[in-house]
Every structure is written in structure tokens, then in C-alpha cells.
A and B are shown apart, each in its own frame.
Chain A
Amino acid sequence: MLRLNKLTKTYKTGDQALKAVTLDIPEGQVLALIGPSGAGKSTLIRCINRLVDPTSGTVHLGDVELTGLSSSGLRRERRRMGMIFQEYALVERLTVMENVLSGRLGYVGFWRSFLRRFPQSDVDEAFRLLDRVGLAHMADKRADELSGGQRQRVGICRALIQNPALLLVDEPTASLDPKTSRQIMRLICELCRERGLAAIINIHDVALAQMFVQRVIGLRFGAVEFDGPPEGLTPDVLTTIYGEEDWEATIEKVEDDEDEVEAQ
């Protein structure tokens, strides 16, 4: 469904953030992207919806090639890719409802969006999504009145109301406490399963990734070092991705976590 071919990004400073990354993601697959800071995880995600323009290589979403699109064509394709951000990236001075509805901007004309006159079907869908994440009663609150976990739920609604085929998720749990992190990850994965969405989740917490996804990609210095199921993440593999460190604790923690989840 999503196919990256030799995707390369070299920044103006000369840093090579991505080195010919080739990936193939089938329909409905949830994939975690792990790797140390600066490995190019964020760049990879942003190259897919072209918030960052790749230097060379191609991105195919379905049958459409994204890197050569004109700006209007790109906007049309961006509607099919919902994005969830680190630090939520909600527009803080707008209400929760406006933030969710902003996911429909690609479908609605300028004046309708300027006057906040969205089609009734969009408003209904927004309420349904907010209800799904348990925030329907917060619709008229301003986004900066919400807690971190609540904000990220609104961010998820904003991505889903686009009716995307693919979710791009950039460090969804980076500024959340451990419990909320797990709730958010579970919510994202559940919603992907319900709607049959593919997702690329860029995450630094290996244990959390192992708990929820079917496939893990390990990135190091902009190149794919590992591609396989979460069980394949042995200490050796982690060492090649992150460098030398004692990994037993991390992996053990995963097992503890899983017990805990079952106990809940």
C-alpha cells in the first residue's frame, strides 16, 4: 500500500538523514520505527507526506507517486495520510471541536472553513470520534485547557477525521507519563485495527513498541538495520541499532509490562 524506494534526504548542512531507505508496507499493517535520536525517524515520516521534501527516491501511496506531485495534487494526497504529532501540535487557542474539524480542511473550501460552517456529516463524525476517545463533553473547551493525554486524543481524532488510509505517528508518547503513554498506544492500535489502517509509529520506547505492533523497523544513521517481528529484537539487534548497552533489563521489563496488562 505504501512503498518507499531508495528514499534519500540530504539536508543543506550536508547531513545525510536518510540513506536510500526502501520499505514496503501492506494494507492495515501497524509498524514501529525505532532507533536512537538523530537516526532519521522524524525525517522519514515527514518525507512521506512531504512536510520535508526528500532529495531523491520515490514514495508510492497506492498507485500515486508522491514526490513528483504539484502542490494541489500533494494536498489531495495528504488527506489520505493522517498525522499525529509529538507534543500534540494542537492549535492551542482554538476549541477542541475546531481542532478536530481542522482535519477536514483538505475537503472543505476556504470560506466554509473560515466561517466554521463545516458540513453536518463532518460535525457528526467529529462528535462520534470524540465520543470514541471519551472527550465528547470537552468539544467546546479550548485546547490549552486539556491535559497531555486528552490533547493527544484530540490529535488522534484530527488525524482520523481525515478518513486516511495511512497514519503517520511521530513520537506519540514523548511527553506523556508511562500509564497515559500505554493508553494512547493502545488506542492508536485499536483504532487502526477497527478501521483497517496502516500506520508508521515512530517511537523511542522499545518496550512499548514491542507490546503493540506487528512489525519493527530499526533505523540507524538513516539506514534500515532491522526489519522483522517484535520478537526478533534480541540484545544483539538492539546493540546494532543503538550501540553497546545492557539490554536484558529492557527486555525483561517488556515481559513484566505484559503481565501487568493482562492483570488489568
Chain B
Amino acid sequence: MSAADTEITMLIGKRWKKPPFIQRAWLRYGLLAGFVIYLIAAFLTIDVNWSRVYEGLERGKQFVLAFTNPDFTSRSSDIWSGMIESIVMTVASSVVGIAISIPIALGAARNIAPLPVYLICRSIIAISRALQEIIVAILLVAIFGFGPLAGFLTLSFASIGFLSKLLAEDIESMDRVQAEAIKASGARWTQWVNYGVQPQVMPRLIGLSIYRVDINFRESAILGLVGAGGIGATLNTSFDRYEYDTAAAILLIIIGIVMALEYISGVVRARVQ
């Protein structure tokens, strides 16, 4: 008891400070100083033309006002065809992307695929994920020419990386016992995948697919900037001509479709789970 008594008398009157998140003082202050120096350096190297920004405020105001009065009509045929092209690219690339990503996901799950297959599938995923959509689109436009085919291929390729990775992770974390029960019944590999694996990952596959449709649509809106089809070209033209009311109309349509897709995906995910 006397030890405890002296302990408490020692504690009384002492100031208390929250123990720091990083214990080592030199590391803590080093990181802090490094971060501050970085921020200062970063701010110094950005040269902002403030008078240009100030002039821009007026245009910014016009643009915001354009949202209250969007112009759907004067370029309606351009908007319409661009939107249809975006939607067509989205649907086709999502279907192809999902169809190809399922076998790749199976191959990229370490618990069901042999090592060589695993490595091949994982490297496909890595390449697809590392390359930006827009860069892929530039290369494909250079190879296949302008038009929605390049956009379609770009989005399919990007979907494969995204879906396969997440699906493979889901397969790897599935319940081993259920799958083993099917295997124990003497099922062949295909049967085993069909009965032991598929039911477990199906809800996630559906959820991810809808999410990917959403992403594909949003991406399809920018592929037009590099000539790969879709609404992006129309949007770019309207910015170049300072036609803010048309641009606002296109942006509102995009936001509306994304909101609708999100709503649908919420409903579908609630139903499959």
C-alpha cells in the first residue's frame, strides 16, 4: 500500500498531457516540420495569376447563374446524340467488362486458382488498374481511330481491372466451410464453383456491377475530350464557346442520370442482400 500511496502523492500536482500519437519525439517533430516545409514550398511554386482569377469571378458568377437557367434546346440534337452515345458505350462496355472480369476474378483468387494462373490474372488486373482511362483512350484512339469503339474498349478494359480485383478479394474472404462441403460431395471444379462459390459472392457481384455501370457512365462523359465518343465532345465545345447555359444543361443531365443510377443501385442492393 505504501508504494501506491507514494505513487498517488507523486501524481498530485503534476501537469497532465495527452500522450502523443507518435511516441518518438524526433520523428514527431520531424514529420511535422517536413510537412510544413512541404506546404510552404508547394504554395510558393504555384503561381496564381490573381488578376486573372479576379476577372474570372464574373464568368464564374455567370456559370452559376446558368444553372438556374440551363439551355436544353438550342443544341438539343448534339446533346441528344452525345448522350445516346455515352449510354450505349456504358451499357456495352459494362456487359463485356462484367463477362470478362468473372473468369479473371476466379483466376485471381488465391484460394481457388493455381499459382501460374493466379499470377497471370493478377498482372492483368494490375495493368488495367494502373493505367488511367483517359490515357488508355488516347492510345486506343491512336490505334483504332476516332469514335465510340475506342471509348467502348477503354471502359471495358477499366471495368475488368476494377471488378476482378474486388471480386477476387471477395472470393478470397468467402466462407471456406461452405465451399468445402460442396467439394466433399465429390463435385467437379466447375460444379464446385457453381454451387460452393457463386452463391456466396453473387450479391457482391451484382452490387459491384451496378456500381461499375455508374462509374462507366461518369467516365464516358470525359472520353469525348480525346475523341473517344460520348457527350464529352459536346461539353468541351460548349466550354470553348463560353456557352455556359448549354454546359449547365449537360452537367445537369449527367448529375440526374448519376443520381438515378445511385437510386437504382440502392434498391437492387437492398433486394439481393
Contacts and interface: CB of A to CB of B under 8 A. Distances in A.
A137 B17 CA distance: 15
Contacts, number: 33
Interface stretch (B7-15, B236-244, B250-258, B259-267): B7-15
A127 interface: yes
A190 interface: no
Interface size class of B (residues with CB under 8 A): 10 to 19
A128 interface: yes
A98 interface: yes
Contact of B13 (A97, A120, A131, A139): A120
Contacts of B12: 124, 127-128
A126 B14 CA distance: 12
A124 B4 contact: no
A240 to B, nearest CB: 45
Interface in A95-154: 95, 97-98, 116, 118, 120, 123-124, 126-128, 131, 136-137, 139-140
Contacts of B16: 97, 118, 123, 126-127, 139
Interface residues of A, number: 16
Contacts of A123: 14-16
Interface in B1-45: 4, 7-8, 11-19
Contacts of A98: 18
A38 B157 CA distance: 57
Given A120-B13, A128-B12, A137 B7 contact: yes
A137 B8 CA distance: 9
Contact of A116 (B4, B11, B13, B18): B18
A116 B16 CA distance: 9
Contacts of A120: 13, 15
Contact of A124 (B7, B13, B18): B13
A120 B17 CA distance: 11
Contacts of A128: 8, 12
A9 B204 CA distance: 43
Nearest to A97: B16
A136 B11 contact: yes
Contacts of B7: 131, 136-137
Contacts of B19: 95, 140
A124 B15 CA distance: 9
Given A127-B8, A136-B7, A116 B15 contact: no
A131 B8 contact: yes
26 contacts: A95-B18, A95-B19, A97-B16, A97-B18, A98-B18, A116-B17, A116-B18, A118-B16, A123-B14, A124-B12, A124-B13, A126-B16, A127-B8, A127-B11, A127-B12, A127-B16, A128-B8, A128-B12, A131-B4, A131-B7, A131-B8, A131-B11, A136-B4, A136-B7, A139-B16, A140-B19
Interface of B: 4, 7-8, 11-19
Q: In the A-B complex, list the 7 residue pairs whose CB atoms are closest, starting with the nearest.
A: A131-B8, A127-B11, A123-B16, A140-B19, A116-B18, A124-B12, A136-B8
